Chain A
Amino acid sequence: MRVKIFRWKAIGPLLILLVIAGVLWWVFADTIARRESQKVGTQLLGAKVEIQRLHLDLAHGKVLIQGLTVASPHEALRNLLQADELVADVDLVPLTEKKLIINRIAANGLRFGTARQTDGRVAAKSGEGQGIAGRVLAETHQWASQFQVPVLQLATGKISFDSLDPRRLSTIPAADALGARADSSRRAWQLAVDTLRLGPTLDTARATLEKLRHARATDLATLNEARQAIERLKRARDRVTMLERNVTQGVSNLKSGLAGLDTARQRDYAFARGLLKLPSLDAPAVGAALFGPGAIRPFEQVLYYMQLARRYMPPGLLPRATTGPSRVRRAGENVRFPKERNLPGFLVRSAELSFQLQPNAEQPQRYAGRLSGLTSDPALYGRPTIATATGPQLGAGLMLNHLHDIPVDTAGASVGGVRFPAFQVPGVPLRLDPGAATTQLGFNLNGDTIHARFAIRSSSVHWTRDSGFANSTIGELIWRAVSGVSNLDVEARLSGALHKPGFAVRSNLDQAIGAQLRGVFGEQVAGAEKQMRDRVDAVVNDKVGPVRARVTEVQKQAQAQVAQQRARLEEVQNQLEQRLRELTRIRLP
């Protein structure tokens, strides 16, 4: 019997199943899209993304989002932004290639930094290295932790320091290296002296001198022999001169090494001083201690978003693997294969933003912004991502240029008249309310080089004491210095290689606070510093003293040997030349 291949009677049930699936999609598409958008947004940003309502109008290529809330990845009870309504015009044809091309977004009622009831952080709570956002958050947090400047810990009046580990001092390895170099130089110079082979030359010259003493003016052969001997002596002197230059250069290098030991010792003093657990009482260090921990936070947050942008918007057209969608089974990795002259996987051509910075103010100001070229494949789109925002006392701009191998990210903002929340000054029981302040931020990340500046200025600051203030000597001193000050001018700068940039903070309070601290603690700090230097010296001198003596000995020995060889040659040469002059002098009758 011939077996039928198709089960024609199953077409009906299958069609019914398809119709049911279509109806379910029609009914639940908005809900599915809303949940997927929330899931993807949360995964991308590392913070909860919540949407109250999402409506897909595929017939007109429109997506409407209402009640968008994006939590801050850094702060537990704060939102990054909220939006009343977003309307997106979506290009439908690229959706068949699983590409999302948004021609235009209109965002209304944007608000930034609003409070929220629950902790919206996801990456920060999920542990290090979970997803791209988790990894970037951990990296930037690690990066920021290197700037933990010593806070003002003098409140107890005690100065403590950790034990000094000799292995962490740089002078000792430097001394070992210099000692080895001195030994090596001594061996090299001794070998060079031996290879001069002056003995045969001198012996021949002396024999010629002896013959010359008994020769007459007419004994031309002996005279010529003497001249040749003088020439040989001159050539030997040239060789000695070369050796002398070599020795002089080597001695100079060894002297530099000795100077390097002094520099290394200064570094060790500075390192040991760091173990004292107190800041320098110089004005810049006081500024860093007071405002450094707070000033590094804006840099950390901007760096987080820029590093995320670099991960999601990499330059070039090579295949890229990213974490796959979360599901019951393993997520795996999604590999994207961008292709020249094709559409990118994601693109927002332009967005128009309307937002408020202080929605709870009596007269909230409205601001406007534009965004263009936000894409997952900058090399395909061919233009950088640009964002601008303007309004009363506001100017902000952003450019993410990932078109070339080395990405360049730049951001700048100046905001005036914005009230910042009061904050605790690190290490001392003081709270600072900056009031309505003007804030400026400049940030440039060119490849792996960073240049950034953050400044805050206010003319209406308000200081308050904390309850633990009564027992704090240093707190009292600082209070005396700052309580009458109503102006605040703080500037923080970062500059250099991203992995270890220079960080400097200055404020208009540095001098006043530093002077107060020096008046009380200067002597105590100086005593502790001297004690620490003595400890370093005790460890280092045992090593450096013998090396210094050895270097000096090598120098003297080499210079003496060269001088001795030169003297021997000159003596014989002078005698030969003198005798030759005597024989060849014309005597008149």
Chain B
Amino acid sequence: MFALIKLIQSLFGALHSEGTPGQLAAGIVLGSFLGLTPLVNVHNAVIFAALVLLNVSFAGGVLGWALLIPFGFLLDPLFDWIGHNLLLAPSLRGLWTSLYNMPIVPLTNFNNTIVLGSFVFAVLFALPLFFATRLGVTRYRATIGERVRQSKWYRAVTASKAYNVYKMFRP
């Protein structure tokens, strides 16, 4: 329940933040990497650092992460198929062999079919997700955004302590 409230807080907090629609969309895209790919991997540490250091919506990142975790689980068979085909493609064998025998790179677990497949999928999915989210946020703010901001339940949600924590990282 608490997670659900936090998710709703994140959603509306992000939608009504001072950040631009582009910042929010970029945050969601970075968060989608955390949700779609297996979490405990080196590339996700880089994604997390980017989410913190880049001037994108952190709340958008949390939102993207939370929303895409179920899709990550659901699409695992597809990721496995993509990763399998990429890793065992004869034309790419030289590339993988070089990467596999380099320092640091193998620690990313790129040679796992799920990790590679989900990462490639997230990269390909990033641009459509970015533009769709940016368009959606712009339309929301132009149409019903102000009415939601004035509603009683929105004030109740944003009055909680969790919202204050969020405000520390808002763009």
Q: Which residues of A line the B interface, CB within 8 A?
A: 3-7, 10-11, 13-14, 96-99, 319, 321, 324-325, 327, 329-339, 342
Complex A-B, nearest 4 residue pairs according to Cβ-Cβ distance, in ascending order: A332-B114, A98-B106, A337-B100, A332-B113
Shortest Cβ gap from B167 to chain A (Å): 13
Q: Which residue in B49, B99, B114 is a CB contact (below 8 Å) of A329?
A: B114
Question: Are B53 and A335 in contact, CB atoms less than 8 angstroms apart?
Answer: no
Question: Are B111 and A97 in contact, CB atoms less than 8 angstroms apart?
Answer: no
- Residues of chain A within 8 A of B103, CB atoms compared: 96-97
Question: Are A11 and B112 in contact, CB atoms less than 8 angstroms apart?
Answer: no
Question: Are A335 and B114 in contact, CB atoms less than 8 angstroms apart?
Answer: no
Shortest Cβ gap from A331 to chain B (Å): 7
- Residues of chain B within 8 A of A327, CB atoms compared: 38, 40
Give the interface size class of chain B: 35 or more
Contact with A along B53-71 (1 / 0, CB 8 A): 1110000000000000000
Shortest Cβ gap from A91 to chain B (Å): 13
Question: Are A332 and B112 in contact, CB atoms less than 8 angstroms apart?
Answer: yes
Question: Are B55 and A337 in contact, CB atoms less than 8 angstroms apart?
Answer: no
Name which residue of chain A comes closest to B93, CB basis.
A319
17 sampled A-B residue pairs with Cβ under 8 A: A6-B55, A7-B53, A13-B52, A14-B52, A97-B101, A97-B103, A99-B106, A319-B93, A321-B84, A324-B113, A330-B76, A330-B79, A332-B112, A332-B115, A335-B113, A337-B100, A338-B97
Question: Are B38 and A334 in contact, CB atoms less than 8 angstroms apart?
Answer: no
Question: Are A97 and B113 in contact, CB atoms less than 8 angstroms apart?
Answer: no
Shortest Cβ gap from A484 to chain B (Å): 65
Shortest Cβ gap from A137 to chain B (Å): 24
- Residues of chain B within 8 A of A339, CB atoms compared: 97-98, 100-101
Given A321-B88, A333-B112, A11–B102 Cβ distance below 8 Å? no
- Residues of chain A within 8 A of B55, CB atoms compared: 3-7
- Residues of chain A within 8 A of B114, CB atoms compared: 324, 329-332
A230 to B55 CA separation, bound complex (whole angstroms): 115
Question: Are A332 and B106 in contact, CB atoms less than 8 angstroms apart?
Answer: no
Question: Are B52 and A335 in contact, CB atoms less than 8 angstroms apart?
Answer: no
A335 to B101 CA separation, bound complex (whole angstroms): 13
- Residues of chain B within 8 A of A6, CB atoms compared: 53-55
A330 to B82 CA separation, bound complex (whole angstroms): 14
Given A321-B88, A337-B96, A329–B111 Cβ distance below 8 Å? no
B13 contacts A by Cβ under 8 Å? no
Question: Are B87 and A319 in contact, CB atoms less than 8 angstroms apart?
Answer: yes
Question: Are A337 and B38 in contact, CB atoms less than 8 angstroms apart?
Answer: no
B107 contacts A by Cβ under 8 Å? yes
Given A7-B52, A97-B101, A324-B114, A330–B80 Cβ distance below 8 Å? yes
- Residues of chain A within 8 A of B106, CB atoms compared: 97-99
Name which residue of chain B comes closest to A341, CB basis.
B101
Name which residue of chain B comes closest to A8, CB basis.
B53
Q: Which residue in B83, B84, B93, B102 is a CB contact (below 8 Å) of A97?
A: B102
Name which residue of chain A comes closest to B86, CB basis.
A335
- Residues of chain A within 8 A of B93, CB atoms compared: 319, 337
Question: Are A319 and B72 in contact, CB atoms less than 8 angstroms apart?
Answer: no
Shortest Cβ gap from B168 to chain A (Å): 9
Question: Are A337 and B115 in contact, CB atoms less than 8 angstroms apart?
Answer: no
Question: Are B52 and A334 in contact, CB atoms less than 8 angstroms apart?
Answer: no
- Residues of chain B within 8 A of A10, CB atoms compared: 52-53, 169
- Residues of chain B within 8 A of A335, CB atoms compared: 87-88, 96, 111-113
Shortest Cβ gap from B136 to chain A (Å): 20
- Residues of chain A within 8 A of B80, CB atoms compared: 330, 332-333
A342 to B71 CA separation, bound complex (whole angstroms): 39
Given A3-B20, A97-B103, A330-B80, A336–B111 Cβ distance below 8 Å? yes
Shortest Cβ gap from A320 to chain B (Å): 10
Question: Are B72 and A334 in contact, CB atoms less than 8 angstroms apart?
Answer: no
Question: Are B113 and A14 in contact, CB atoms less than 8 angstroms apart?
Answer: no
A3 to B57 CA separation, bound complex (whole angstroms): 13
A336 to B99 CA separation, bound complex (whole angstroms): 11
- Residues of chain A within 8 A of B128, CB atoms compared: none
Shortest Cβ gap from A4 to chain B (Å): 5
Residues of B119-171 contacting chain A, CB below 8 A:
169, 171
Given A5-B55, A7-B52, A342-B101, A319–B88 Cβ distance below 8 Å? yes
Name which residue of chain A comes closest to B56, CB basis.
A7
Shortest Cβ gap from B38 to chain A (Å): 6
A342 to B100 CA separation, bound complex (whole angstroms): 11
- Residues of chain A within 8 A of B38, CB atoms compared: 327, 329
- Residues of chain A within 8 A of B49, CB atoms compared: 14
B23 contacts A by Cβ under 8 Å? yes
Question: Are A7 and B54 in contact, CB atoms less than 8 angstroms apart?
Answer: yes
Shortest Cβ gap from A345 to chain B (Å): 9
Name which residue of chain A comes closest to B49, CB basis.
A14
Known: A319-B96, A329-B38, A337-B96. 19 other contacts (CB 8 A): A14-B52, A14-B53, A97-B101, A97-B106, A321-B113, A324-B113, A327-B38, A330-B76, A332-B80, A332-B113, A333-B80, A335-B87, A335-B112, A335-B113, A336-B111, A337-B101, A338-B97, A339-B97, A342-B101
A10 to B53 CA separation, bound complex (whole angstroms): 6
A316 to B52 CA separation, bound complex (whole angstroms): 45
Name which residue of chain A comes closest to B40, CB basis.
A327
